[in-house]
Amino acid sequence: MSPRASSPATVKIGDVARAAGVSLGTVSKALNGTGSLREETRRHVQEVADRLGFVPDSRGRGLASGRTYTVGFLTTDSFGRFTLPILMGAEDALSVGRMAVILSDTRDDRAREEHLVRSLRGRRVDGLVVTGRSTDERARVDIDIPVVYAFTRPDDPEQCAVLSDEAAGAALAARHLLSLGRSRILHVTGPQRHRSARVRAEAVVDTAGDALVGEPMFGTWSEEWGRRAIDIALASGLDVDAVCCGSDQIARGVLDQLHERRIAVPEQVAVTGYDNWDVMALAARPPLTTVDMNLGEVGRRAGEMLLELIDGREPARCEIIVPPRLEIRGSTV
Amino acid sequence: MSPRASSPATVKIGDVARAAGVSLGTVSKALNGTGSLREETRRHVQEVADRLGFVPDSRGRGLASGRTYTVGFLTTDSFGRFTLPILMGAEDALSVGRMAVILSDTRDDRAREEHLVRSLRGRRVDGLVVTGRSTDERARVDIDIPVVYAFTRPDDPEQCAVLSDEAAGAALAARHLLSLGRSRILHVTGPQRHRSARVRAEAVVDTAGDALVGEPMFGTWSEEWGRRAIDIALASGLDVDAVCCGSDQIARGVLDQLHERRIAVPEQVAVTGYDNWDVMALAARPPLTTVDMNLGEVGRRAGEMLLELIDGREPARCEIIVPPRLEIRGSTV
């Protein structure tokens, strides 16, 4: 524990003004980066403030404006793979508005979520970003401050949301396989009850057209399902030259099982994933061509939209669909 | 965006007291969970408060006590695999003290860290948890409030820290292999410049004794290194009946390459990992026996220690070493 004796909290803004030989207003502008000051004045004041150990009390902003300059980030995804890039993007955007982010992890527990929302209201956060692992619809959060949903979809169309274009992502992968001349494409994906699996499957079916082999194979988001799907497909005599997978984990299982059966990737069968999850995609043999949902951009746009709502501005659009991109690697070319 | 017209912020504590037919003090005790009240009184007050839409303003606590009831959580680990379980454990402990956690992600950037620390000081957070991906020593954070380091190690021995016992974890894995009668154990791990790799390697060497085959093989924390290490070991004619790995990713590569060479696991060669990272350990074939560092417990103890420091209590110990445990699965038995 650090000593508290020499706490710089005791240095007042007047001390800085006196030592720097400028007015209180100049100190305020210099340290807050507001108003117009010569760069050398700003730097001089900052140096004096640093030397004296002056720390501006940012709570003052809140008292003056009625705002707390804090935002809640409510997530159901303890695991973090989807949430973290969204959080980082949102942090980038919100820090421009000098907002701090209070993390609230519901752990998929409805009672815990209600408790956390009450606690965020009690702290008078200025707004809320709501996210989660699933793109299925979720109940809207009942709170009387600006809310933006990111990646996850609110059941109330009046709510503002930034979503990933999952159909476009799946179509990108299928079109890439077609462009390589593949004409017998199998689609292996997650559970049919998940919106992500259904939307991606529809887009693959639409895009691949006659090049689609059999029906989409729904299963689980796991390597084990990827391996088993290959066994099932080959046992039933399907002749495929490409497997378009609904996730990187599924694709990883598909690759392993093709390798096991000495089927050459990409020469005999090309494989695509979905997520661009580096630990899966880069360690795969060969490295995996996969769809990147640009989750950082989803978070950034959500943060920007929330800042607009908090400032009382009407955002240009209340729903933003972020386009995905395709990372092309050795599993297809 | 939600309507702000019917903001429940306008309902005062006195309205709740009148409607519930109790005193202000009883409302306060009931909603804060303090003092002694009959359970039915507490529930009655809560119901009335909920019906009226009353939200206690938790900033009041701060004004009265000089505290903000917020804690900074400073992490260098954007990736989140090690950080998130620590964060969740810390949140559990801190929420008991009704503290909110402000997440600050330095992204391994020193300038960004300094900016974030200044911002946390400006917000007058009551304390700070510092964590990161690496157990290497890091510079102490220069801030005049209570700080607890979790998982990561401060370069100043006066600082309070909660760490994982990495030597004990590696010894657990080696002892498990010995207990299964394995007598030709190979150790494959990460870069020698990482403290984690060195500490784990020393513990494996000490524990395995004569059963160790060759020198520890230092490389990278990757599947690719695990695969290559097996090729190198077999090409140099090493006869092994167990591979004790420094991480789950390395173990995953080792398993894949043994599988490739038709070497039966665990019959011919037993394999252990380190991390108990579920996506790696559970999807492995066979599922991986691995060391779990109990990172949730590391976070929980760090949160508890920080609450003690914030309350001005001297913690019983300023350094806590959390013991790991071994998850035994099909790769060894």
In the predicted model, is pLDDT for residue A10 greater than 90? no
Tallying the residues shown for chain B, one arrives at 333
CA A24, CA A26: separation in Å to the nearest integer? Answer: 5
Chain B contact present for A283, CB below 8 A: yes
Read off φ and ψ for residue A81, nearest 5 degrees: -65, -40
In the predicted model, is pLDDT for residue A164 greater than 70? yes
Asked whether the beta carbons of B214 and B235 are under 8 A apart, the reply is no
Instruction: Assess whether the region B68-165+295-324 and the region B166-292 belong to the same CATH fold.
Output: yes
| Six token digits for residue B46 | 């809560």
- Segment holding A73, helix H or strand E: strand A70-75
What does CATH list as the number for B8-53?
1.10.260.40
- Overall average pLDDT of the A77-102 stretch: 85
Tokens 């002056």 sit on residue: A54
Q: Which of residues 194-253 of B touch A (CB under 8 A)?
A: 222-224, 249, 252-253
- Overall average pLDDT of the B149-154 stretch: 93
Comparing CB atoms, the residue among B87, B101, B105 nearest residue A102 is: B101
Distance from CA of B102 to the nearest CA of A (A): 5
Chain A contact present for B279, CB below 8 A: yes
Report helix angle B39-52 to B13-20, nearest 10.
Answer: 120
Chain B contact present for A157, CB below 8 A: no
- Segment holding A274, helix H or strand E: strand A270-274
Give me the percent of chain A exceeding a pLDDT of 70.
92
Is the CATH number of domain A8-57 3.40.50.970? no
Chain A contact present for B144, CB below 8 A: yes
Cβ distance A144 to B3 less than 8 Å, yes or no, reads yes
pLDDT in tens, A24-40: 888 877 876 666 788 88
What pLDDT sits at residue B1?
40
Return the higher-pLDDT residue of A227 and A46.
A227
**Which residues of A fall within a CB distance of 8 Å from B125?**
none
CATH architecture, range B68-165+295-324? 3-Layer(aba) Sandwich (3.40)
What pLDDT sits at residue A78?
63
Mean pLDDT of chain B: 89
**Domain locations along chain B:** 8-53, 68-165+295-324, 166-292
In the predicted model, is pLDDT for residue B225 greater than 80? yes
Asked whether the beta carbons of A265 and A271 are under 8 A apart, the reply is yes
Of the candidates A83, A121, A137, A127, the one whose C-alpha atom is nearest the C-alpha of residue A105 is A83
Cβ distance A88 to B79 less than 8 Å, yes or no, reads no
- Overall average pLDDT of the B275-287 stretch: 93
Return left, alpha or beta for A270; rule: phi > 0 is left, psi -120 to 50 is alpha, else beta.
beta
| Six token digits for residue B210 | 């004569």
ipTM: 0.77
Q: For the stretch A76-97, what's the b/e string if a residue is b when 16 or more beta carbons lie within 10 angstroms of its beta carbon?
A: bbebbbbbbbbbbbbbebbbeb
Q: Which residues contact A240 (CB under 8 A, 6 or more apart)?
A: A184, A185, A186, A213, A233, A269
A166-292 fold: Rossmann fold (3.40.50)
Vertex B101 angle, CA B98 and B106, to 5°:
165
- Overall average pLDDT of the A69-81 stretch: 83
| Six token digits for residue A59 | 């709570």
Q: Where are the beta strands (DSSP E) in A120-251?
A: 127-131, 137-138, 147-150, 153-154, 160-164, 185-189, 217-218, 242-245
> What does the DSSP assignment read for A90-147?
HHHHHHHTT-EEEEEE-TT-HHHHHHHHHHHHHTT-SEEEEE-S--SEEPPP--SS-E
CA B95, CA B93: separation in Å to the nearest integer? Answer: 6
What pLDDT sits at residue A34?
63
Q: Where are the beta strands (DSSP E) in chain B?
A: 70-75, 100-105, 127-131, 137-138, 147-150, 153-154, 160-164, 185-189, 217-218, 242-245, 270-274, 289-292, 319-322, 325-327
Question: Nearest-CA residue of chain B relative to A223?
Answer: B283
Amino acid at B252: R
In the predicted model, is pLDDT for residue A4 greater than 50? no
Cβ distance B84 to A102 less than 8 Å, yes or no, reads no
To test the contact with chain A by mutation, choose from B10, B92, B144 the residue with the greatest count of A C-beta atoms within 10 A, namely: B144
- Segment holding A70, helix H or strand E: strand A70-75
Asked whether the beta carbons of B99 and B70 are under 8 A apart, the reply is yes
In the predicted model, is pLDDT for residue A76 greater than 80? yes
A/B interface, count of CB pairs below 8 Å: 126
Distance from CA of A12 to the nearest CA of B (A): 13
- Segment holding A273, helix H or strand E: strand A270-274
CA B105, CA A88: separation in Å to the nearest integer? Answer: 8
Mean pLDDT of chain A: 89
Q: Which of residues 73-102 of B touch A (CB under 8 A)?
A: 73, 78-81, 84, 87-88, 91, 98, 100-102
Cβ distance A68 to B79 less than 8 Å, yes or no, reads no
A67-164+295-324 fold: Rossmann fold (3.40.50)
